[in-house]
Structure 1
Amino acid sequence: MHSKADHGRVTVTAPVEGMTIAEAAERTGLTPHTLRYYERDGLMLRSVGRTTSGHRVYTDRDLTWVTMLTRLRATGMSIREVKAYAALCRQGAGNEAERLALLQTHRARVLAQLAEVHEHLEAIDVKIGMYASTMARADT
């Protein structure tokens, strides 16, 4: 794939390798609107390539990054934190300690949330056990 810079965007000149936004949406489970939002809001690792006609061309690398963004968001990382993480990644080598700290802080929050959910699940299991026991006695 050959490309050239075009006002901060990459324009794919030929041959076109990659996926359309519809294909990228299908592979990621996101909507084209969400993919455009990620790009527009500065969450992507790099600018998404464009064909000469201006259509987006997503690469496997783009989708790997989108998958990471999706995981961070699904585990409760704020957009502000995702933006900060993406900005650090775009800067390249030299800020790994900051990236590590950001991810470790997020991981600690996720673990705390998991512990809380586990407690709630245990309470639900107790209730299920009570009802199952009551129904078993009623059947005898």
Structure 2
Amino acid sequence: MPEVVQSLSIGQVAERTGLSVHALRFYEREGILANPVRRGPGGRRFYSEDDVEWLRLCIILRASGMPLPAIRQYTELVRQGSGTEEERLTLLRRHRENVIAQIDKLTHCLDLITFKVGVYEDHLEHGPVEHMCGASSLPEHAERD
């Protein structure tokens, strides 16, 4: 028995993914969708559950800082199918390293902010502290820009 593929309208996909209709059309034009968008009578776009899952992956990749050209490259490799796994792995490993670097930088920022919150909380509880805004009030490991 053939599998029944549920057809979703562009509005339904927008609602389920959090992307705007405009963004969905943009992703289609940019070659970000793994499968060609099907068209119904009158040219209306129809999507499948697989399309929604692919878009959710793309949203995560984009939110993690992967540039659109890299997502497009990954999409092309997926479209090519078997035999491109090594290239896909390389691309994802490279992106993972970028995300780790972002997390490290944000962790340093959070450390500094947490320290400064503590300084101001102490100030409000115990009175003024010398050099509240200067570099001498930074934690030892914080970058001094």
Unaligned runs of 5+ in 2: 128-145
Q: Say whether the 8 Å CA contact 2:6–2:49 is kept in structure 1.
A: no
Q: Which has the higher strand share?
A: 1
Of the three residues 32, 42, 54, the one matched with 1:43 is 32
> Could you say what secondary structure the match of 1:53 adopts?
helix
Of the three residues 105, 114, 118, the one matched with 2:107 is 118
Of the three residues 64, 71, 85, the one matched with 1:96 is 85
Q: State the number of aligned residues.
A: 125
CA deviation after TM superposition for structure 1 residue 17, in Å:
2.9
2:29 is the alignment partner of 1:19: no
| TM-score, structure 2 normalization | 0.82
Q: Say whether the 8 Å CA contact 1:16–1:51 is kept in structure 2.
A: no
* 1:1-140 superposed matches below 5 A: 17-138=6-127
In 2, the alpha carbon distance for the partners of 1:134 and 1:128 equals 10
| TM-score, structure 1 normalization | 0.84
In 2, the alpha carbon distance for the partners of 1:112 and 1:29 equals 27
Unaligned runs of 5+ in 1: 3-14
CA deviation after TM superposition for structure 1 residue 53, in Å:
2.5
CA deviation after TM superposition for structure 1 residue 121, in Å:
0.3
Greater CA drift, 117-126 or 52-61: 52-61
